[in-house]
């Protein structure tokens, strides 16, 4: 299953979630994310990742996120804005448990 959602969080938290997804065995895959609450200026585009993170990494921003989670049969609510990436993970884990319970009841 794949959903397009919105998340308000800091760039540092989103980057850490993206890196954690690659390093750990989590139940989701972040396919894409970008800041959508404002367009970057030409000066911001010229910054390196390290410079940008040092300057803007702790600001709460609005992100468009495409996330894939194969264990779940029902999508997250498309277009819904989550208050943090932690709340997205919590929702995905809850849906995984519901899916596992439904499979157990089918048997």
DSSP assignments along 33-55, one per residue = EEE-SSPPPHHHHHS-HHHHHHH
Query: Structural domain of residue 36, as residue ranges?
Result: 2-106
pLDDT at position 79: 63
pLDDT at position 38: 75
Show the CA angle centred on residue 22, arms to residues 5 and 25, nearest 5°: 95
Predicted structure pTM score: 0.73
Number of domains in the chain: 1
pLDDT digits (tens, 9 = 90+) for 38-85: 777 888 878 887 887 788 888 888 888 888 887 777 777 766 788 888
């Amino acid at each position: 299953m794949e959903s397009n959602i919105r998340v308000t969080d800091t760039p540092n938290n989103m980057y850490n979630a993206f890196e954690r997804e690659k390093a750990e065995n989590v139940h989701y895959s972040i396919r894409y994310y970008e800041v959508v609450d404002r367009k970057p200026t030409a000066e911001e585009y010229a910054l390196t990742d390290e410079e940008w993170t040092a300057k803007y990494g702790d600001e709460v921003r609005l992100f468009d996120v495409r996330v894939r989670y194969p264990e779940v049969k029902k999508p997250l609510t498309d277009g819904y804005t989550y208050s943090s990436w932690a709340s997205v993970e919590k929702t995905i884990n809850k849906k995984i448990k519901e899916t596992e319970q439904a499979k157990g009841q089918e048997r």
